[in-house]
Every structure is written in C-alpha cells, then in structure tokens.
C-alpha cells in the first residue's frame, strides 16, 4: 500500500513540474515571439527605407532610377561628396572629443556647472518677476540677487575666477555651436580659450569666491523662505528650483576648492597639446580644403542611411528574398517587401478564375478597336475635307466626343473589371493590387447588377448617337460640292463604325444572369483574401505557439504603407 502511494506522489510531483514549466513557457515564450516579430518587421522596413533613400539619391544625380541593386550600391559607395561629409563628421567629432575632455577636467566641470546654475537662477528670477511685483520686499530682493549673480561674470574681488569662468563658458558654447564655424577657425578659438584658462586658472581666488557665495547662499535661502510664506508657491515652483540651483553651486564650489590644481593643470596642458596636433592635421594637405568647411557633428538622416548601405539591405529578413523595385516610367519608384507575395498572388489569381473568360471583356476590347478604326478613317477623311471648314469642324467634334465613351457607366465598369482581371494575371505587388482590389469591388458589383438586369441602355444610347452623327457627316459630305476626285477619296465613317452596333446586339445576347453571381462571389473572395494578405499568416512554433508572418509593406513615391494603416 505504501509503495502505491509513493508512486502516486512521484507522478503528481512530475505533473506539477511539467505544469509549472508550461506556465513559465506561456508567460515567456509569447513575449519572445512578439519581440522576434517586431525585430523582423523593423529590420525589413529599415531596409526598404534604405533602398528608397538610395534610389532617391541616385535619381537626384541621374534624373532616373535604377532597378539594379548592385549598380545602386556601387553608385552610393563611390560618391565622393558622401565620403567627404563622412570624413568631415569624423574630424568634427575628434575636435568635440578634445573639447569634452577639457570640460570634464573636474575643476573646469565644476566651474561650468556653477555657471549654468547661476544662469538658471537669473533666468528664474526674470521669468517670475510678474509674481514678485505683488510683494515689494520680494521684488527688491530678487533684483538684488540678480545683480549679485553678475559678480560671477565680472568681479574686482575675484577677477581670475571671473575670467576663467568666461573662457570655460566660451569653450562650452563653442562645443554647442561647432557647426557655426569652419573647423580651422573653430579650433583656433578653442586653442585661444584653453590658453586663457591655463593662464588664469592657477590663480583663481578660491577663498574669496567661497566667502562671496556663503553670503549669497544665505541671502537666497532667506529669499526662498520669504516666498514660501506667500501665495507665490501656488502659481510657481521657483522656490524649489532656486533651492536646487544654489545646492548645485554649493557642491560645485566645494569640489572646486578641494581640487588638486597642479594635477588638473597638467591635464589641461595635455589636452592643449591634443588640440595643437589636431590643428596641424586640419592644416595638412589631406584635410586643408575640407576643414575650411563648417563643422558637422553628425550626418543627416539620409546620409547616415547611405553610408551604412550594404548588400544585407537587399534582402527581406523574413524570407531572404530580394526586395522588389519598380521604377515604372523612370520617374516614379516603389520599393516593396517580397514576403508572402507569391502566395497571396496565387489566391488572387484563383479568385478571378471564374470570371476570367467572361465574353464582355473581349466585346469591350472589340468596341475599342472599332472606335480606333473609325478614328483612323476620320483622320484620313480630314485630309480630303481640309478646305471644307464647316464639315471639318463637325468631324473634329465627333472625334472629341469619342473620348466620352469612358464616361458611359456600363462601358467603364466592364472595361475596369476586364483590365483588373488582366492585371491580376501579371502583377503580384500589394502596392498595386491592394488599391486595385479596393477600387474594383464597387464596379464589379454594379456590373453584376447590369448583367443580371440586361441593362446596357446607356451604352446603346451613346453608340446610337455616334452612329447617327457619323451618318449625318457622310450625308453632309455627299451633299457638298466636292470634286469627283475628292469624293472617291472620301470613305464612309458610318460604315467603319457599323461593327459597333453589331457588337451591341452581341452583348445583349451574351448576357448570362449566372455570371452576375460569379462577379459577386469573386468580389467577396477578393475582399476576404486581401484582408488575409494584410493580416499575414501564422506559423506553428514550439508546438503550441504561433509566429506571425506578414508582408512588411512598401514605400511608393515617398508614402510609407505602414504609416497609413
């Protein structure tokens, strides 16, 4: 009996362990899958964007796009202007690095922090003056403190500190505005500032600065206490901000006072030497012309993309297939993810298969041919009638009206559906098929209704109108005083158009209500499969979980599909 209970306990323990592992998996695995999906999508879209920017870069230089990825990569990598900008960024960053090293020397950093905190104090006092005016004593104290803060910038009591602070501020400002100067001028300014700091820094009046600040600290602290007794605290956080800034100055001065001056001066001298070496590099033949340009701390977004372009960007990380680049007429560009497009395309082809061979498409194409043939006949007759101005005007009017055929609803819908069916056979890109499917659903349903009811009255009306106009033209020509030679050259326009009326009869006879059902079913299937294409497909992973695969989109003439979802 005991052995039976013991075996049951072991099985129960194993079951508990397995369920615990399953629970952990349910918590951790989906998150891992989601992160993988997000990473693939982001990587794919970065690739698409990189190729689009590279194509745009190519177009600006050549006024055309290229569908050759290798040609595109070679062009980008061999562009001298891009390499110059990249080198300029590298040189500018070298310059900024030396400035940062100087500004990170402890005493220099403490002076800089003190200066920024003092600036913030003055700014807060000016910005809150409207609240201080309500209390005359607080307003006067505020103005007095602002005057005191100016002593950090210019003081007869500690002139060496004020001058050191001035050049530290100038160096920090140079770093922030490095792109406002050519590199050669910028580094000369930096050398001048560092030499000045090196001159005044060893003789800074530390004790006098501390004495001044100890008194000022008490004054500002009392000012803060006075404000807290008023309703200023209800409309402004200036008391708390001032406390933060004066404490920051306290810390900076304490660190500054305890610094090892000789050690830090040695660091400053070493960085001064680095500046001099960098200056000589800027003046060298290899970089002299380039460093006459304004500093460039980073490449713009496009240049940064182009610099890092490589063959890995040619392939979708989801399916490892090349991206699709459509340059159409050479003036427009689409870069598209290839993932799942073949599979989606097969479904769309299957969707239109039931309506692929509907007779109306060929009949509409034949009607277009009749109109084109009639137009050619009219053009030939124009030569015959060139001296008959009134008849010639009637002829040109008929030619212009032929374009109205596209506004006849039955013709338009039949034409659009027929063209769509042809498009689906040869096109797989979602950038083309998605809008095409969305646009064709209504025409397909309307065409189904027309076929169901046998209604092509608008087309019949338009064709009859054309026929009568052409017959009238022929009659007018026959009644005119044309010479026998010109009469023989004139060919009947109505006769050339006559097959259109025969096609009209043929269309009426070929209408099959069952085809209307096929059009509606096709529209439903297209809509369903388009939604499926946009949602993607799921792949089983880890037995009980799924990883989602999608087409990651496209960029078409600057429009990113994923930003319009």
| 60: in domain | no
Residues 6+ apart with CB under 8 A from 246: 117, 121, 217, 220, 221
Give helix then strand counts, H and E, for the chain. Answer: 22, 6
Which tens digits make up the pLDDT trace of 56-96?
999 999 999 998 999 999 999 999 999 999 999 999 999 99
Query: Is 183 a domain residue?
Result: yes
Kindly tell me if the per-residue pLDDT of 6 is higher than 80: no
Q: Is residue 402 part of a domain?
A: yes
Res 125 pLDDT > 80 = yes
Q: Which tokens is 549 given?
A: 């695969």
Query: For residue 295, what pLDDT is reported?
Result: 96
Shortest CA distance to 497 belongs to which of 380, 404, 371?
371
CA 530 to chain centroid = 25
The pLDDT, as a whole number, for residue 24 is 59
pTM more than 0.85: no
Contacts of 235 (CB under 8 A, 6+ apart): 131
Mark whether 157 and 224 lie in a shared domain. yes
- Please tell me the least confidently modeled range out of 90-104, 172-186, 387-401, 481-495: 481-495
DSSP structural state of residue 182:
B
- Residue 368 banded pLDDT, cuts 50, 70, 90: very high
Whether residue 520 sits in one domain with residue 455 = yes
Alpha carbon dihedral 114, 118, 124, 130, in 10-degree steps, equals 170
| Structural domain contains residue 446 | yes
Does the structure show a pLDDT above 80 at 7?
A: no
* Across 262-276, average pLDDT: 95
Please give the pLDDT value at position 377. Answer: 94
What is the percent of the chain with per-residue pLDDT over 90, rounded to a whole number? Answer: 82
| Same domain flag for 405 and 510 | yes
- What is 447-483 written as a DSSP string? HHHHHHHT--HHHHHHHHHHHHHHHHHHHHHHHS---
Of the candidates 427, 506, 550, which has an alpha carbon nearest to the alpha carbon of residue 42? 550
**Does the pLDDT of residue 105 top 90, yes or no?**
yes
Q: Are 519 and 355 in contact (CB under 8 A)?
A: yes
Number of domains making up the chain? 2
Q: Can you give the pLDDT at residue 546?
A: 85
**pLDDT band at 19, cuts 50/70/90?**
low
**pLDDT higher for 295 or 539?**
295
Burial class (CB in 10 A: 0-12, 13-18, 19+), 65: buried
In a domain, 327, yes or no: no
Note the pLDDT of residue 248. Answer: 95
Q: Note whether 298 and 366 are same-domain residues.
A: no
Average pLDDT over residues 392-400: 93
* Same-domain status, 495 and 361: yes
| Spatial contact of 42 and 550, defined as CB atoms under 8 Å apart | no
Contact 275, 194 (CB under 8 A): yes
Residue 32 confidence (pLDDT):
82
- Position 9 scores a pLDDT of 75
Residue 20: the pLDDT is 64
For residues 324 and 432, the answer to whether their CB atoms sit within 8 Å is: no
Average pLDDT of span 319-344: 92
Residue 27 clears pLDDT 80, i.e. is over it: no
Q: What is the mean pLDDT of residues 339-352?
A: 96
Residues 198 and 255 in one domain: yes
pLDDT for residue 489: 86
Domain encompassing residue 382: 341-535
- Considering the domain architecture, whether residues 345 and 300 belong to the same structural domain is answered as no
């Amino acid at each position: 009996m005991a052995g039976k209970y013991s075996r049951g306990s072991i099985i129960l323990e194993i079951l508990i362990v397995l369920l615990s592992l399953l629970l952990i998996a349910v918590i951790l695995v989906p998150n891992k899958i989601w992160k993988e999906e997000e990473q693939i999508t982001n990587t794919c879209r970065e690739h698409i964007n990189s190729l689009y920017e590279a194509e745009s870069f190519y177009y600006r230089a050549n006024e055309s796009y290229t569908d050759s990825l290798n040609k595109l990569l070679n062009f980008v990598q061999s562009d001298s202007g891009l390499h110059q900008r990249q080198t300029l960024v590298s040189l500018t960053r070298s310059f900024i690095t030396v400035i940062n090293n100087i500004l990170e020397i402890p005493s220099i950093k403490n002076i800089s922090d003190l200066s920024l905190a003092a600036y913030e104090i003055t700014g807060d006092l000016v910005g809150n003056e409207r609240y201080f005016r309500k209390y005359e004593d607080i307003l006067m104290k505020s103005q007095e403190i602002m005057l005191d803060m100016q002593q950090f910038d210019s003081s007869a009591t500690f002139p060496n500190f004020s001058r050191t602070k001035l050049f530290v501020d100038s160096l920090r400002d140079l770093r922030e505005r490095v792109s406002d100067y050519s590199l050669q001028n910028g580094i000369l300014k930096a050398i001048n500032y560092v030499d000045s700091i090196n001159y005044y820094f060893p003789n800074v009046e530390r004790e006098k600065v501390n004495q001044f600040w100890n008194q000022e600290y008490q004054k500002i602290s009392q000012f803060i206490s006075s404000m807290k007794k008023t309703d200023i605290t209800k409309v402004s956080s200036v008391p708390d901000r001032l406390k933060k800034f004066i404490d920051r100055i306290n810390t900076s001065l304490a660190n500054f006072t305890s610094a090892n001056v000789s050690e830090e001066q040695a660091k400053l001298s070493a960085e001064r030497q680095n500046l001099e070496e960098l200056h000589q590099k800027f003046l060298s033949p290899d970089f002299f012309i380039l460093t006459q340009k304004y500093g460039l701390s980073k490449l713009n977004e496009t240049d940064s993309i182009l610099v890092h372009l490589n063959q890995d960007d040619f392939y979708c990380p989801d399916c490892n297939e090349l991206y699709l680049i459509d340059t159409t007429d050479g003036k427009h560009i689409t870069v598209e993810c290839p993932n799942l497009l073949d599979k989606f395309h097969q479904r769309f082809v299957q969707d239109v298969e039931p309506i692929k061979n509907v007779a109306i498409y060929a009949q509409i194409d034949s009607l277009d041919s009749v109109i084109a043939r009639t137009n050619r006949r009219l053009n030939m007759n124009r030569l015959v009638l060139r001296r008959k101005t009134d008849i010639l005007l009637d002829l040109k009017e008929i030619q212009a009206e032929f374009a109205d055929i596209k506004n006849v609803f039955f013709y338009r819908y039949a034409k659009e559906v027929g063209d769509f069916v042809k498009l689906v056979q040869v096109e797989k890109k979602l950038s083309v098929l998605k809008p095409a499917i969305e646009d064709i659903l209504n025409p397909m349903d309307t065409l189904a209704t027309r076929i169901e009811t046998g209604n092509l009255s608008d087309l019949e009306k338009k064709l009859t109108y054309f026929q009568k106009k052409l017959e009238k033209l022929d009659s007018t020509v026959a009644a005119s005083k044309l010479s026998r030679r010109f009469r023989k050259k004139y060919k009947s326009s109505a006769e050339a158009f006559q097959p259109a009326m025969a096609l009209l009869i043929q269309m009426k006879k070929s209408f099959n209500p069952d085809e209307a059902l096929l059009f509606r079913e096709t529209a439903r299937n297209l809509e369903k499969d388009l939604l499926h294409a946009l949602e993607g497909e799921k792949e089983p992973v880890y037995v009980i979980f799924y990883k989602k695969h999608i087409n990651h989109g496209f960029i078409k003439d600057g429009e990113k599909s994923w930003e319009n979802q």
